[in-house]
Amino acid sequence: MSNTIGNNLLHQSLLYPTVLEHQGRINSSTCIGGNTFFQSQATSLTQKSSISTEFLGNRLKVRRHKLKMGKCCSSSRSRSTRAVLAADPSSGLTEKFNLYQNVELQVDVELPPSGSTSVVNIQVTSGIDSLLLHWGAIKSHTKKWILPHHRPVGTTVYMDQALRSPFEKSGSNAVLRIEIDDPSIQALEFLVFDEARNKWYKYNGGNFHVKLPKRESRSPNVSIPEELVQVQAYLRWERNGKQNYSPEKEKEEFEAARRELLEEISRGASIQDLRTKLTGKKDTSESKEQLVSGSKSSIPEDLVQIQSFIRWERAGKPNYSPEQQLKEFEEARKELQVELDKGASLDEIRKRITKGGTQAKVSKQPEKKNYSTGERIQRKKRDVMSLLSKFDSVPVEEKISLEPPVLSAIKQFAREKEDHIDGPIVNKKIYKLADKELLVLVAKSSGKTKVYLATDLPEPVVLHWALSKIPGEWTAPPATVLPLDSVSLDKAAETKLAIISTDNQPDKVQSLEITIEDDSFVGMPFVLLSGEKWVKNGGSDFYVELNTGSVKNKDAGDGKGTSKSLLDKIADLESEAQKSFMHRFNIAADLMEQATNGGELGLAAIVVWMRYMATRQLIWNKNYNVKPREISQAQDRLTDLLQNVYKSSPQYREILRMIMSTVGRGGEGDVGQRIRDEILVIQRNNECKGGMMEEWHQKLHNNTSPDDVVICQALIDYIKNDFDIGVYWKTLSDNGITKERLLSYDRAIHSEPNFRREQRDGLLRDLGHYMRTLKAVHSGADLESAIANCMGYKAEGQGFMVGVNINPVSGLPSGFPELLQFVLTHIEDKQVESLLEGLLEAREELRPSLSRPSDRLKDLIFLDIALDSAVRTAVERGYEELNNASPEKIMYFISLVVENLALSVDNNEDLIYCLKGWNQALSMKKSGDGNWALFAKSVLDRTRLSLTSKSESYNQLLQPSAEYLGAQLGVDQSAVSIFTEEIIRAGSAASLSSLLNRLDPVLRQTANLGSWQVISPIEAIGYVVVVDQLLSVQNNTYSKPTILVAKSVRGEEEIPDGVVAVLTPDMPDVLSHVSVRARNSKVCFATCFDPNILASIQASEGKLLCLKPTSADVVYSEMTDDELLSSTNSKDDVSSAPSLTLVKKKFAGRYAISSEEFTNDMVGAKSRNIANLKGKLPSWVNIPTSVALPFGVFETVLSDDLNKAVASKLDILKRDLDEGNVGALGEIRNTVLELSAPPQLIKELQEKMQKSGMPWPGDEGEQRWEQAWIAIKKVWASKWNERAYFSTRKVKLDHDYLCMAVLVQEIINADYAFVIHTTNPSSEDSSEIYAEVVKGLGETLVGAYPGRALSFICKKSDLNSPQVLGYPSKPIGLFIKQSIIFRSDSNGEDLEGYAGAGLYDSVPMDEEDKVVLDYSSDALINDSKFRHEILSSIARAGSAIEELYGSAQDIEGVVKDGKIYVVQTRPQM
């Protein structure tokens, strides 16, 4: 039934209303107040609809109907003579035809006295029981077949082109009766088909053609009220099985309903008789009826409709019953009649109620949203920043006791046993037996299966057991398997457990070991006899799987990074939770308070537990008889609590959505109980009470689960595919349900479905209804039922719990239901762009309601989850659409998916700026900006970084809990290890990643970026080694020349010894620390953008490759060991690098010096170089004021009497370090921070800073000086950071000789920071300058901050023509208030041949603010004139400094208010 009849009649409508604003629009489609009782006939007859939707009491299933004629029939008709039978209207007609030998066809045409329906009776005189009538109808002016809606029972649609109706047996004949109630149908055409023999019966090779009698109009000159026509149409729809109607069929149904009512009028019925019959109510006021009926013809229906809306709005927009709707129509009509009686004209009334005359009395009605333009919606323009969801959420860290937990006797036994098992453990369970425990441990050892059982039950224990080749069966174990003193029984065996002694456990333990060599056994069922009492598993047999194929966790670990106490409690309660979903959901509800108090980690524990349940890693039911209604109530209880936390703690909304999507929605009212009731109705209505349906019924009766949704779908697919049993098993298998799983239910399903063909239509109808009920309980992300639950519905139809009534959620945006209707219309479109727009518009419209208190908030959350899920499904379906799509279209798709992700997650600021970036890239492309691809590539890179960041945050939050609880509950290790990965893959982030991968090569090709960025173009030969992180191997030493392929490179790592090349898909800046070190160490370093090329190199792991890089490409080829040897010998004559030595600096007697006092003996090159620039550069290049704590100050402070204890402690730690304990490095750094400042140091530093014009921190209070002192000590302590320590060891520098001066400068609160290399480091071209620019402070450029800086080159011959190479993708900028920075300046940073720069720390007195960057508002990106000025100024400053020193320079500086400041320079290495 379409939205006019099926959805709207007598029930809540999906569409919100419109009041007509202008008389010229009076014929527009209108729908009042969500109650289609107010809808005019014009709506149903003229509204164009592309879908049919069962929305009330039926599963929402959107289908299109394309009505076509049968090709074979039309062609036969055109080529051959037809058998034509014309019927006389007065008497009817009978005619016979010979089909085959003695087989005759008789056709009778009759017209009942009422004249409303023609009847065609067809009879075949044959005992054949497999005959079908292949037929269609003919209307005037067309030869094409149309498919009448009124069809015999069992009729199917054949390829949307013809109908096939089965004949029924009547004695020795086959008969069929066809009723035609559409007066526009002038004839029937048909063929007879013997399905069993695959034989067609035709008339001289053509179709049989039966003309229908013309009907005389017998309708009286009476106007039937439109509301009664709608009711009659609804009743016809119900009577015909609530089928889907096309718009054309819908119109036919309205006219057929009108004709039926006119027939009753012609037989003497009155309008009031019809009203009483249709509504079950009779107006007792005869005078009122006369008043209304006497005026009906004078008041246009559209005015009555609008007045009805005004009354509905005035009443608070209630949800009217069908009877109330009819009453409202009449009351509206009476009000208008009263105005007419008072002298008002119809024109005056129309003007008043359609142009705002009622505004003084009622609020202005909402205008109908015109979402649709053709086949697309018109999206609202919104500020993207309105999507911002930002919380400072700090996980509640549980304090984990350092003391080892006291293990029970059984857990201690398990640990000791596991330590001695030499093979994998494939199953481990510890069952709770009241206050005792039972361990079952299954391991593989030397090709055998070993089962270990242990219990601390006090009474002697006998194991009553068997083995299974089919899950669950009891088979007597072979004699070769029986332990000593076992007793063999009929289908089992009995074995006593032996008492073992334990050293430190007060409880005795009884244990048993069973060895099984036959791999054909899959399980072991058993029970225990303890004393005189049988011990079972919650009323069922114990059953242990012997061949799970997956290794289980051995150790739960210490629970660090989890809500350990909550996870322990969950593990303890799991045996109770296994009884049923009711138990599990109620236990989860009981734990919600503790989980909420535990913050993110507490809620993460619930996510992990519920996810293990949803993925069937935990037992769903243990022979516990629970009613579906009780499961539904338990779900409601849990989801109500989740809803409350969602309201009170918005910072946890993202993780709460995860929980809700795994729990499911539950049922309103009796919907949970309907699961059990409706299966009985299906069995009764379709006569399928035995076999598989009865087994399923018993399973449902015992315990329903999400598996039932899959089983129901499998049955529907099986029936639709001509009862193909292979399709049934394929649907089950595709959704993870095997034969073994069906057999594992407490009420097992053994049988396959076996239905009769005549059951097809009824089963499809009833199973379709049933699917809605199952999804309402089990599928939180099911879009159709989620929409119905929010928009409201009634459960109608024979036997299906009549009376269930879900009211619509109040307060939704005007026009929102129409938007959902658009979504449902297009939900199965192959071209998904308009669907994605509709889904996102719906989520945007819904978003404000998710932040407002509501007792139905959880229904809205489930709707939003469902819309989110539909986006993912639509995107995946649209991949084919993008195969040959333009870059604009792919970028647009990406922008939609980024928007969807931003709507789904918390702390989405970075994603929002990515979305703004994509919108900007699209705008640049449309405007013809030549740099659009280069800019889009930077946005793509940033989006990837955002996805990586989200993935890492999920992993940090969820994975520790997944591993700890997984170990506690014996979950498959494979499921544990990919837990977080599967969470991420289930969301739209995975779709976004796939779209980015599609666009990346297109952008690289368009922007001429190639597949590589070569950072250090050094030829290299080495063996390929693949690692996850360069950081994890930076301290390794490789004995052979090694090419490292590292998935992650942060930018501050060391290059390990023995490494000749580093290749990575990561994007370190060309001027980052690791990049500089690679070039200085003559190590090949390159980023590979092409995943296929990278995969090819990774596949060569262990092989010898030769790399030959250019400035933009890397050519690689395999080599042999002999070629390597030859290459090595040819280089033997190359002189070795000069040895490096440090000269230990001495304290010069001063704690602080000004820049004029900077000398080689006092400070490092960093300080000297900056002082040397003063007065020698153009006036527009600014140099910050500097002072320094010279060499030797640290050692002098350490030797001061104030710090004797610190010095003593450091001596001990340094001895530990010298002995190889690198763990002492961290302790040394912490100890340095314990130093106290000598008063003379404070005095001298204050004097020097104030004389230089720098602010003295102590002027702001003692605390500010303490901040400065801590920063100074951190610089000194960085001498012992791991990176620097290992770097000096590699080049055999004496670490004790390394001295640290501290350069003190006032921080410039920069708009931008830059680094210049006056010789291009990638191409080694000395004629051009290479520079990188970041927003904020420069630490994001030289430190371990992900993303790329803006990069550019500039020819020294034309410093006014900078060329941008890449736009920035760094998501984070560092900003700071007016402050002081203390920079490291060691005597080891600028040794020739040693890349010491950047090894040590520079520390600001105040902490920087991390700001998520919005490049869409950045002038450096958007203002080409401003960008040109800034980049040219940077290039000119670099050129001036290089000219001053006469050599290539590595320069750092900042930009503030357009001014250039240089903060340091050093020779470029």
> Which of 11, 149, 826, 1073 is flagged as catalytic?
1073
Residues 1059, 1049: Cα–Cα separation, whole Å: 15
Residues 1094, 1091: Cα–Cα separation, whole Å: 5
Residues 1054, 1032: Cα–Cα separation, whole Å: 10
Residues 1458, 1460: Cα–Cα separation, whole Å: 7
For Cα atoms 1290, 1293, 1294, give the angle at the middle one, nearest 5 degrees. Answer: 130
Q: Which residues, 6+ apart, have CB-to-CB distance to 1398 below 8 Å?
A: 1052, 1073, 1076, 1342, 1389
Radius of gyration of the chain (CA): 41
The answer to whether residue 1073 is catalytic is: yes
Residues 908, 906: Cα–Cα separation, whole Å: 5
Taken in order 378, 380, 381, 386, is the CA torsion positive or negative? negative
Strand partners, 1115: 1108
- CA separation, residue 56 to residues 12, 14, 15, 867 (Å): 8, 10, 13, 20
| Three-state DSSP class for residue 227 | helix
- CA separation, residue 719 to residues 280, 470, 753, 754, 1138 (Å): 39, 29, 9, 10, 83
Q: Which residues, 6+ apart, have CB-to-CB distance to 195 below 8 Å?
A: 130, 131, 132
Q: Which amino acid is at 318?
A: P
Structure tokens at 984: 């991420």
Residue whose entry in the numeric block shows the structure tokens 């016809």? 236
Residues 640, 109: Cα–Cα separation, whole Å: 62
| Three-state DSSP class for residue 350 | helix
Q: Which amino acid is at 521?
A: F
Residues 1125, 1144: Cα–Cα separation, whole Å: 41
- CA separation, residue 301 to residues 22, 160, 289, 338 (Å): 16, 37, 17, 16
Burial 1258-1269 (b: 16+ CB within 10 A, else e): beeeeebbebbb
Question: What is the H or E stretch that residue 84 is in?
Answer: strand 83-86
Please name the residue ranges forming H helices in 499-558.
none
Structure tokens at 35: 């109650």
3-state secondary structure 1082-1121: CCEEEEECCHHHHHHHHCCCCCEEEEEECCCCEEEEECCH
Neighbours of 839 (CB within 10 A): 29
What torsion, rounded to 10 degrees, do the Cα atoms 920, 926, 931, 936 define? 40
- Give one DSSP letter per residue of 427-483, joined into a string: EEEEEEETTEEEEEEEEEETTEEEEEEEE--SS-EEEEE-BBSSTT--BPPPTTTPP
Residues 1255, 1246: Cα–Cα separation, whole Å: 9
Question: What is the H or E stretch that residue 953 is in?
Answer: helix 932-969
Structure tokens at 843: 């989520």
How far separated are the first and last CA of the chain, in Å rounded? 77
Structure tokens at 878: 């649209």
- Would you name the residues annotated as active-site residues? 1073
